[in-house]
């Protein structure tokens, strides 16, 4: 089924519109986020270094950016920090760039580019979009920064449309609009307007889930494959794919005796599985080396993770208020993500199962950090908030909390401080 057919099916729904409403929210949000970053960069100066975590001070002192060419180019500089370095490096140079931050392999003391820890689709799309900008004379890094921001903004719009479409399955038009607003106004929602892969992933993953709701299984499977090449958790889209396929058979195990049914299921799963195998063949080995040796992360390292969460909890009562504030937000986001998945499990089963997978993989990946960013990929988080937001008091209170934290975290990111 073509994209045009899917778009047309949206357009002829009994519930009219909302592309215009969502587009207006998106345009205003883009303007506010980018203008706010420019305004704060012009008006505010933060004291360095950032002592929020044990390692953050050495990466946020006055000279910390001097040897990072991808983070000091002045054009679109407010939209790049931390992981943006690696996406821009892959887009401009490719993997193995000697100018990008290097990590040390334990046991051999060999150096390896940390960019290997990042999946290829987002930076390669940046390369494609930035190529005509470079032909017009733009600096390669500046062109890549502009292209990366543009791609993130488009991914956010697609994610909003998909989330709205998912919400309307069992909720109202108003709930759908509210869910999309809560997504972009979430404390870490500013990441969706930066050179980070979150927005592209959300566009692909939420798009996949929306298509599954409409029983467009093969277009959904194709998006799942692309999501796998964007972020590691994309492989979890296999769960809602299989769930929807089995649901279409009425959960009759006897239907599996038909080879045509099995062939269809295998073809669906082949998209994300094939995407993973291709990625693993070309980039899997250096990815795991960097993840384990540099970032200390792994798949379901439960005991190490529990130990990390325990230390994070104890730090709430320590002498550093920055650390306390940081982990309060991390714990809050983690708890909210889990509660949302459990609360919406019966109403939005495939989306909640995907969300639970995201929660488990990120919570038990090693170190308790960045959860406020990772939970952006849980669609039922915003559906749950939208459901609670039917209450006017909750809506106003949550909006105030979320927007104030959004402003704080956007400010910190703009000045290259650690926010997750």
pLDDT, one tens digit per residue, over 382-417 is: 999 999 999 999 999 999 999 999 999 999 999 999
Nearest to 230 by CA among 190, 275, 274: 275
Domain boundaries, the chain: 18-414
At 362 the pLDDT is 97
Which pTM value belongs to this model? 0.94
Task: Tell me the pLDDT band of 3, cut-offs 50, 70 and 90.
Answer: low
CA gap 340, 358 in Å, rounded: 12
Question: How large is the average pLDDT for residues 177-196?
Answer: 98
At 19 the pLDDT is 85
Q: Read off the tokens for 393.
A: 């008091």
User: Which residue would you say has higher pLDDT here, 337 or 20?
Assistant: 337
What DSSP letter does each residue of 328-384 carry, written as one string?
A: HHHHHHHHHHHHHHHHTTTTSHHHHHHHHHHHHHHHTSSS---HHHHGGG-HHHHHH
Q: Would you say residue 32 has pLDDT above 80?
A: yes
Question: How large is the average pLDDT for residues 159-188?
Answer: 95
Task: Tell me the pLDDT band of 9, cut-offs 50, 70 and 90.
Answer: low
**305-356 pLDDT, tens digit each:** 999 999 999 999 999 999 999 999 999 999 999 999 999 999 999 999 999 9
Nearest to 193 by CA among 331, 67, 32, 61: 32
CA gap 192, 200 in Å, rounded: 8
User: Which residue would you say has higher pLDDT here, 272 or 15?
Assistant: 272
Greatest alpha-carbon span in the chain? 68
Task: Tell me the pLDDT band of 14, cut-offs 50, 70 and 90.
Answer: very low
Alpha carbons within 13 A on the beta-carbon side of 77: 14
**202-220 pLDDT, tens digit each:** 999 999 999 999 999 999 9
Q: Would you say residue 373 has pLDDT above 80?
A: yes
Burial of 173 (0-12, 13-18, 19+ CB in 10 A): middle
The angle subtended at Cα 95 by Cα 235 and Cα 300, nearest 5°, is 35
Q: Read off the tokens for 226.
A: 């692309």
At 4 the pLDDT is 59
> Tokens 């215009």, residue?
20
φ and ψ at residue 240, rounded to 5 degrees: -65, -25
Burial letters 237-266, b for 16+ CB under 10 A, else e: bbebbebbbeeeeeeeeeeeeeeebeebbe
Q: Would you say residue 62 has pLDDT above 60?
A: yes
CA gap 125, 105 in Å, rounded: 29
**Residues 6+ positions from 231 with CB-CB distance below 8 Å:** 119, 197, 201, 377
Q: What share of the chain in percent tops pLDDT 90?
A: 80
Q: Read off the tokens for 282.
A: 């070309």
At 300 the pLDDT is 86
What DSSP letter does each residue of 146-187 carry, written as one string?
A: HHHHHHHHHHHHHHHHHHHHHHTTTS-HHHHHHHHHHHHTST
CA gap 147, 76 in Å, rounded: 10
Task: Tell me the pLDDT band of 13, cut-offs 50, 70 and 90.
Answer: low
Lowest mean pLDDT, pick from 47-51, 92-96, 262-266, 354-358: 262-266
- Residues shown for the chain: 420
> Helices 321-343 and 349-363 sit at what angle, rounded to 10 degrees?
150
CB 233 within 8 A of CB 375: no
């Amino acid at each position: 089924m073509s994209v045009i057919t899917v778009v047309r099916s949206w357009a002829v729904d009994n519930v009219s519109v909302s592309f215009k409403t969502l587009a207006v929210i998106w345009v205003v949000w883009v303007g506010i986020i980018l203008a706010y970053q420019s305004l704060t960069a012009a008006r505010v100066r933060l004291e360095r270094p950032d002592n929020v975590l044990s390692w953050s001070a050495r990466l946020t002192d006055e000279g910390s950016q001097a040897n990072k060419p991808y983070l000091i180019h002045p054009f679109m500089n407010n939209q790049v920090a931390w992981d943006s370095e690696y996406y821009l490096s892959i887009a401009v140079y490719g993997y193995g760039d000697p100018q990008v931050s290097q990590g040390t392999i334990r046991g051999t003391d060999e150096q390896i580019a940390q960019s290997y820890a990042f999946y290829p689709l987002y930076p390669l799309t940046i390369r494609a979009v930035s190529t005509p900008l470079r032909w017009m004379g733009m600096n390669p890094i500046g062109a890549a920064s502009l292209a990366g921001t543009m791609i993130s903004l488009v991914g956010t719009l697609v994610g909003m449309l998909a989330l709205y479409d998912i919400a309307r399955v069992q909720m109202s038009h108003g709930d759908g609009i509210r869910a999309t607003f809560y997504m972009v106004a979430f404390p870490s929602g500013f990441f969706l307007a930066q050179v980070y892969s979150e927005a592209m992933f959300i566009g692909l993953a939420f798009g996949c889930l929306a298509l599954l709701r409409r029983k467009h299984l093969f277009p959904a499977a194709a998006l799942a494959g692309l999501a796998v090449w964007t972020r590691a958790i994309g492989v979890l889209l296999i769960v809602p794919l299989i769930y929807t396929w089995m649901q279409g058979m009425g959960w009759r195990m006897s239907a599996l005796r038909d080879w045509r049914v099995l062939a269809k299921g295998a073809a669906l799963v082949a998209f994300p599985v094939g995407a993973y195998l291709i990625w693993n063949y070309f980039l899997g080995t250096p990815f795991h080396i960097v993840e384990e040796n540099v970032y200390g992360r792994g798949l379901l390292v439960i005991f190490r993770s529990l130990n990390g969460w325990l230390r994070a909890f104890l730090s709430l009562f320590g002498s550093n208020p920055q650390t306390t504030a940081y982990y309060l937000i991390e714990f809050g986001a983690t708890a909210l993500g889990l509660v949302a998945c459990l609360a919406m499990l019966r109403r939005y089963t495939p989306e909640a199962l995907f969300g639970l997978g995201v929660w488990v993989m990120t919570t038990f990946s090693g170190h308790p950090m960045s959860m406020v960013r990772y939970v952006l990929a849980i669609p039922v988080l915003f559906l749950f908030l939208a459901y609670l937001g039917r209450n006017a008091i909750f809506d106003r209170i949550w909006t105030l909390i979320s927007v104030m934290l959004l402003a704080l975290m956007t400010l910190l990111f703009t000045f290259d401080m650690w926010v997750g």
